[in-house]
Amino acid sequence: MGEHLADQLLLPMALAGGGTFSCSTVPQHALTNAEVIARFLPVHITFEQQERNSICTVAAA
Protein backbone atom coordinates (compact mmCIF):
# COMPACT_ATOMS: atom_id res chain seq x y z
CA MET A 1 0.00 0.00 0.00
CA GLY A 2 1.22 3.47 -0.76
CA GLU A 3 2.22 6.02 1.81
CA HIS A 4 -0.75 8.29 1.09
CA LEU A 5 -3.31 5.64 2.02
CA ALA A 6 -1.66 4.64 5.29
CA ASP A 7 -2.79 7.69 7.27
CA GLN A 8 -6.31 7.46 5.84
CA LEU A 9 -6.82 3.91 7.13
CA LEU A 10 -5.91 4.71 10.72
CA LEU A 11 -9.16 6.35 11.81
CA PRO A 12 -11.56 3.73 10.34
CA MET A 13 -9.46 0.97 11.89
CA ALA A 14 -9.42 2.73 15.26
CA LEU A 15 -13.21 3.16 15.16
CA ALA A 16 -13.63 -0.50 14.18
CA GLY A 17 -11.57 -1.61 17.18
CA GLY A 18 -8.30 -2.55 15.54
CA GLY A 19 -6.50 -4.19 12.68
CA THR A 20 -3.20 -4.50 10.86
CA PHE A 21 -1.90 -3.45 7.46
CA SER A 22 1.45 -3.06 5.73
CA CYS A 23 2.73 -0.03 3.85
CA SER A 24 5.81 0.74 1.81
CA THR A 25 6.85 3.73 3.92
CA VAL A 26 5.48 5.56 6.95
CA PRO A 27 5.19 9.28 6.21
CA GLN A 28 5.35 11.86 8.99
CA HIS A 29 1.67 12.65 8.40
CA ALA A 30 0.71 9.08 9.36
CA LEU A 31 2.71 9.33 12.59
CA THR A 32 1.04 12.63 13.46
CA ASN A 33 -2.38 11.23 12.60
CA ALA A 34 -1.72 8.22 14.86
CA GLU A 35 -0.86 10.52 17.79
CA VAL A 36 -4.01 12.61 17.33
CA ILE A 37 -6.25 9.54 17.07
CA ALA A 38 -4.74 8.04 20.23
CA ARG A 39 -5.57 11.25 22.14
CA PHE A 40 -9.27 10.90 21.34
CA LEU A 41 -9.87 7.15 21.16
CA PRO A 42 -8.74 4.32 23.47
CA VAL A 43 -6.36 2.74 20.93
CA HIS A 44 -2.66 2.09 20.66
CA ILE A 45 -1.12 2.51 17.18
CA THR A 46 2.33 1.17 16.35
CA PHE A 47 4.50 1.09 13.23
CA GLU A 48 7.08 -1.68 13.00
CA GLN A 49 9.78 -1.56 10.33
CA GLN A 50 10.20 -4.85 8.48
CA GLU A 51 12.74 -5.80 5.83
CA ARG A 52 10.71 -4.51 2.86
CA ASN A 53 7.85 -2.56 4.42
CA SER A 54 6.31 -1.35 7.67
CA ILE A 55 3.53 -3.02 9.61
CA CYS A 56 0.94 -0.80 11.26
CA THR A 57 -1.07 -2.26 14.11
CA VAL A 58 -4.10 -0.58 15.64
CA ALA A 59 -5.21 -2.18 18.91
CA ALA A 60 -7.74 -1.30 21.60
CA ALA A 61 -6.03 0.13 24.67
Q: Which residues are catalytic?
A: 29
For residue 47, give every residue at least 6 positions away whose Cβ sits within 8 Å of its Cβ, in sequence order, or none. 26, 30, 31, 34, 54, 55, 56
For residue 34, give every residue at least 6 positions away whose Cβ sits within 8 Å of its Cβ, in sequence order, or none. 10, 45, 47
